[in-house]
């Protein structure tokens, strides 16, 4: 009885505020747009009993999904989201790995401080961290001022409102997600293996590629998914740094809902985004599971 109370409170909370809302999205994605409040039909009318339920199911169709395949805007947005997420993840790995590697090689007494320094930006507002880049990347921003001052360029670079700004924003905000799992993997690495390799005539570079990289692979994979998954549905970064040219699916969903007030299409966009995300999420879970089993 006590257990029932303990289970049921969080259970029902999540059912009502997580699962049911998602089913509503699914339902509205199969409905038609209407100029009413709420702006879609059919609405489920339980007062009419069985007839109402039948009318409800008869009104559902895949029109919105067909619409998504017909309008090139959506195709381009999905494709461009995947592209931006992939490139940003690669860049984050290239930036994050040397940092994690440096942390793992650092003297023991620095470790806690270094960890704290990586985690601290997590606690500061995401919005503030993205905002900070506007002043740096804009045409008369600090980066251009600095580059002109040291004489590398004569005319300011246009970075703001391009995809490059979005890459920088994603790498910057999600970098701790990349560093931490790689650091965790590298820290466990047994240095005597590297010494053995060198004793046997391996160069340090070869030992790095033959030992360090493969042994830290689970951390690298986890870090990549932790950057890729949130980057794919990102809204704040493309809308603040990407300008109107950068298409990302999170932004399209937002505009479809708030500007066009087309709820069924916004819902269909959400369903497709989730369908795309399922694959990396399952792969990520598999990787974690393997880690847990290997750890036992």
Partner 1 sequence: MRRFTWFNATSLTLGFAFLYMPMVILVIYSFNESKLVTVWAGFSTKWYGELMQNQAFLDAAWVTLKVGVAASTLATVLGTMAALVLVRAGRFPGRTLFSGMIYAPLVMPEVITGLSLLLLFISLGVDRGVFTIILAHTTFAMCYVSVVVSSRLVTFDQSLEEAALDLGCSAFTAFRLVTLPIIAPAVVSGWLLAFTLSLDDLVIASFTAGPSATTLPIKIFSAVRLGVSPEINALCTLMIAIVAIGVIGTSIGTKRAALRQKRDEQAAARATG
Taking CB under 8 A as the binding criterion, the range among 53-61, 71-79, 85-93, 141-149 that sits at the site for partner 1 is: 141-149
Q: Does position 20 bind partner 1 by CB under 8 A?
A: yes
- Identify residues 212-241 at the interface with partner 1 (CB under 8 A): 229-230, 232-236, 239-240
- Identify residues 152-191 at the interface with partner 1 (CB under 8 A): 172, 175, 191
Virtual torsion, Cα 271, 275, 277, 281, nearest 10 deg: 120
Q: Does position 247 bind partner 1 by CB under 8 A?
A: no
Which of 82, 93, 99, 184 touches partner 1 (CB under 8 A)?
99
CA distances from 101 to 26, 106, 186 (A): 44, 9, 7
Q: Does position 121 bind partner 1 by CB under 8 A?
A: yes
Burial class (CB in 10 A: 0-12, 13-18, 19+), 82: middle
Q: Does position 283 bind partner 1 by CB under 8 A?
A: no
Please report how the helices 63-70 and 72-105 are oriented relative to each other, as an axis angle in degrees rounded to 10: 80
Which of 163, 211, 250, 265 touches partner 1 (CB under 8 A)?
250
* 96 contacts: CB under 8 Å, gap ≥ 6: 175, 178, 179, 182, 223
Residue 120 or 158 having the CB closest to partner 1: 120
Taking CB under 8 A as the binding criterion, the range among 4-12, 53-61, 69-77, 149-157 that sits at the site for partner 1 is: 4-12
3-state SS, residue 60: coil
Which of 13, 57, 62, 209 touches partner 1 (CB under 8 A)?
13
Q: Does position 28 bind partner 1 by CB under 8 A?
A: yes
HSE-CB of 50 using CA atoms within 13 angstroms? 0
Strands 32-33 and 40-41: antiparallel
């Amino acid at each position: 009885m006590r257990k029932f109370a303990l289970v049921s409170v969080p259970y029902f909370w999540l059912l009502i505020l997580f699962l049911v809302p998602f089913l509503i999205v699914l339902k509205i994605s199969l409905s038609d747009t209407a100029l009413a409040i709420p702006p879609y039909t059919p609405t489920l009318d339980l007062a009419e009993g069985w007839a109402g339920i039948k009318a409800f199911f008869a009104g559902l169709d895949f029109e919105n999904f067909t619409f998504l395949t017909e309008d090139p805007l959506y195709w381009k947005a999905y494709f461009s989201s995947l592209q931006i997420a992939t490139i940003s993840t690669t860049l984050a790995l290239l930036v994050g790995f040397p940092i994690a590697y440096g942390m793992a090689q650092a003297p023991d007494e620095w470790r806690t401080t270094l960890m704290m320094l990586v985690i601290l930006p997590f606690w500061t507002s995401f919005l503030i961290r993205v905002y900070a880049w506007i002043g740096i990347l804009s045409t008369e921003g600090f980066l251009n001022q600095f580059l002109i001052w040291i004489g590398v360029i004569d005319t300011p670079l246009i970075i703001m409102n391009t995809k490059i700004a979005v890459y920088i924003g994603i790498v910057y905000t999600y970098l701790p997600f990349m560093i931490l799992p790689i650091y965790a993997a590298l820290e466990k690495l047994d240095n005597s293996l590297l010494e053995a390799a060198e004793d046997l005539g391996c160069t340090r570079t070869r030992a790095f590629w033959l030992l360090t990289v493969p042994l830290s692979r689970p951390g690298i994979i986890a870090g990549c998914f932790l950057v890729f998954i949130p980057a794919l549905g990102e809204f704040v970064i493309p809308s603040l740094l990407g300008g109107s040219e950068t298409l990302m699916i999170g932004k399209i969903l937002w505009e479809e809902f708030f500007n066009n007030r087309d709820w069924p299409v916004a819902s269909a966009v959400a369903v497709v985004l989730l369908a795309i995300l399922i694959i990396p999420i399952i792969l990520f879970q598999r990787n974690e599971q393997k880690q847990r089993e290997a750890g036992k």
